[in-house]
Amino acid sequence: MSTETNSIAGKILPANIRPILIRGILLVVGWTLLYKYVLAPAGIPDNQLSKLVQIGTAELLSWFYPNVTQTGTVVLIDGIPSVSIGHQCNGLELNALYVGFMLCFPSSFKKILIYTIIGFTAIYLLNVVRCAVLAVMYINHNDLTDFAHHYAFKLVIYAVVFYGWVLYSKKPASK
C-alpha cells in the first residue's frame, strides 16, 4: 500500500514540486500565525506602512493641488476628505504574498534581496499612485471610483506582481 501511495503521489505531485509546496504551506501558516498573534495586535508593520502610504499619497497630490493636508488616516484636498488609508489598503498582504512566492523557490540570498527591494518599492509606489488617483476621483465625484478601487487597480497591481514573479523565476541565460 505504501509503494502504491508513493507512486500515486509521485504521479500527481512531481518530486521537484513537493519542496516548493511544503515551503509554501509552511510560509503561509507561519506568516498567518505571526501576523495574527504577534504583529497585528502590536500594529506592526501596519501602522507604519499605512502612514508611509498616506504620506506618499499626500506628497504626490501636493504636486497637483496647493492645499493637501493629512489628519488621522485621511488625506484632505482643499479641506475635503478624499481618501482614508486603512490597514487593508497599505499593501502589506501583497508584499507578504510577493516575498512568500520568492522564498518558496530555491535561489541565492542576493537575488531574493534584490527582487524583494525592487518588489516592495514597486508595490509601494503603485499603491501611492492608486490612492492619489482614488482621491482625485472621489473629489471629482467620479462614478467609476468604486470600480477603480475594487477592480481596476487590483488588476494592475496584481499584473505587476505577477510580472515580478515571472522575472524572478526565469533562469539566467546560459553563456
pLDDT tens across 98-148, in order?
Answer: 999 999 988 999 999 999 999 999 999 999 999 999 999 999 988 999 999
- Say if residue 56 is in the same domain as residue 67: yes
What is the arithmetic mean of pLDDT over 80-91? 94
- Say if residue 117 is in the same domain as residue 148: yes
User: Rounded to 5 degrees, what angle do the CA atoms 25, 96, 36 make?
Assistant: 75
- Say if residue 156 is in the same domain as residue 111: yes
When pLDDT is cut at 50, 70 and 90, the band that residue 3 belongs to is low
What is the arithmetic mean of pLDDT over 141-169? 93
Q: Is 67 within 8 Å of 77 (Cβ atoms)? A: yes
When pLDDT is cut at 50, 70 and 90, the band that residue 170 belongs to is confident
- Say if residue 72 is in the same domain as residue 138: yes
Residue 6 has pLDDT above 70, yes or no: no
Residue 175 is assigned to a structural domain of this protein: no
Structural domain boundaries, residue 20: 1-42
Q: Is 128 exposed, middle or buried (0-12, 13-18, 19+ CB in 10 A)?
A: buried
Residue 30 has pLDDT above 50, yes or no: yes
pLDDT value of position 8 = 54
- Say if residue 24 is in the same domain as residue 79: no
pTM of the model: 0.87
Residue 173 has pLDDT above 80, yes or no: no
- Say if residue 14 is in the same domain as residue 62: no
Helix pair 92-104, 109-139: axis angle to 10 deg: 160
- Say if residue 90 is in the same domain as residue 150: yes
- Say if residue 36 is in the same domain as residue 53: no
When pLDDT is cut at 50, 70 and 90, the band that residue 12 belongs to is confident
- Where does the chain have alpha helices with state H? 2-12, 18-34, 40-42, 46-62, 92-104, 109-139, 145-147, 153-169
pLDDT value of position 120 = 96
Per the structure, how many domains does the chain have? 2
- Say if residue 146 is in the same domain as residue 158: yes
- Say if residue 91 is in the same domain as residue 24: no
How does pLDDT run across 44-79, given as a tens digit for each residue? 999 999 999 999 999 999 999 999 999 999 999 999
Residue 47 is assigned to a structural domain of this protein: yes
- Say if residue 25 is in the same domain as residue 50: no
